[in-house]
Amino acid sequence: MNQTLTGKNILLIISGGIAAYKSLDLIRRLKERGAGVRCVLTGGGAQFVTPLSVAALSEEAVFQDLFSLKDESEMGHIRLSREADLLVVAPASADLMAKMAAGLANDLASTVLLATDKPVLFAPAMNTVMWDHPATKRNYRILLDDGLHAVGPGQGDLACGEVGAGRMSEPLEIVAAAENIIAGQPTGQPVAAPLKGRRAIVTSGPTYEAIDPVRYLANRSSGKQGHAIAAALAGLGAEVVLVAGPNNQPDPSRVTIRNIESAAQMLAACEAALPADIAVCAAAVADWRVAGEAEQKMKKDGSGRPPALNLVENPDILATLSQMNGGRPSLVVGFAAETEKVVDHAQSKRTRKGCDWIVANDVGTGTRVMGGDENTVHLITAADVENWPKMPKDAVATTLAKRIADHFINHFGSE
């Protein structure tokens, strides 16, 4: 896992808005990376998340009141702002952004932000009409001109039922932005994006291969790893097309989603998304499909004999993208889900398919990788095998995305 945030102190300011629920996951992600997290919860924020839940996750007292005698005596607002290495405002509501831009200090959150001498990262979240309002755009530009960093907002379905810009960036995207700032990115601009201008295709989830209108062949893939990779690449500035089989994962923000069911549909969607610089084939694609889907539900005939299913091989999406004669992505990354001889089988697969990298993992009985939240992987390249420690799938995604960014910087420069 990236160690940039290890030992760093983050002051997270949670303002009002339905996106405040994401702040709870953000606390967990920051702490997973070794950061200490203190939180300021505004009155509006407390309408959506409780001080108890914030305190439980951060393992710190939650600060809410500017004029609290207890808080000011133990941890005054000046000290609160100065002891942090980075201030993160997530969500940053239109109201709080306006206060920040005007230099107001009429509550704890705005006072801390005005009193700090540390970098500030804010993640806007609001209704799309509010985001597009000239006053909000003006405030956003003022904050950037004042040297603050921004991440998001993304586009998509909003809690109010409308569709458009205004979704708060996903926690992993905010974490990646925080890591960039701590690592020394220039201030006063939106967070630097090393993959800006690059286009990525990511496949995720299982495929369903129909037997009849009711039944299908599938596997236990949840899509967690592929979706996390798509979010991490988008967080580093890539234009991402996520080709996803059936899953229950939330759609990552700032990512174009192409929902499919079968392997043939997944291949067609990948080919339609070309040209691309990067292809990450993280989906667990069914190797086989039934030669002919029954038009009606198959019935038992009373003989006790199961129906004969004639299986044919599915298209090989990884090999197809890796072995293209023209328009091949510059970097093709495959996944190898193995139950034995994990590294040996993955090395053979990399050579056989023609991809550049393989991410290998053990999905055998007892590993709980399929559908689970953690993964232990080996990154296999032509030159080396990197054995990564067990970590959450989103941390695997962040680490892989940064390796991909480093690859393009090393081979093509920052451009």
CA distances from 51 to 59, 78, 84, 298 (A): 11, 21, 20, 55
Q: Where in the sequence numbering do the catalytic residues fall?
A: 160
Please answer whether residues 111 and 143 qualify as being in contact, where contact means their C-beta atoms are separated by less than 8 angstroms. Answer: no
Please answer whether residues 374 and 391 qualify as being in contact, where contact means their C-beta atoms are separated by less than 8 angstroms. Answer: yes
Minimal CA–CA distance to 92: which of 109, 104, 106?
Answer: 109
What backbone torsions phi and psi does residue 114 show, to the nearest 5 degrees? -75, -25
Total residue length of the chain = 415
| DSSP class per residue in 122-139 | EEE---HHHHHSHHHHHH
Would you give the DSSP letter of residue 284? B
Minimal CA–CA distance to 343: which of 280, 386, 307, 302?
Answer: 386
Structure tokens at 157: 């379905």
62 sits in the region (left: phi over 0; alpha: psi -120 to 50; else beta) called beta
Would you give the DSSP letter of residue 177? H
CA distances from 293 to 23, 61, 290 (A): 46, 59, 6
Structure tokens at 52: 């108890």
What CA–CA distance (Å, rounded) separates 413 from 408? 7
Structure tokens at 339: 């139950």
C-alpha dihedral over 220, 224, 226, 227, to 10 degrees? Answer: 140
Minimal CA–CA distance to 38: which of 82, 2, 1?
Answer: 82
What CA–CA distance (Å, rounded) separates 292 from 100? 62
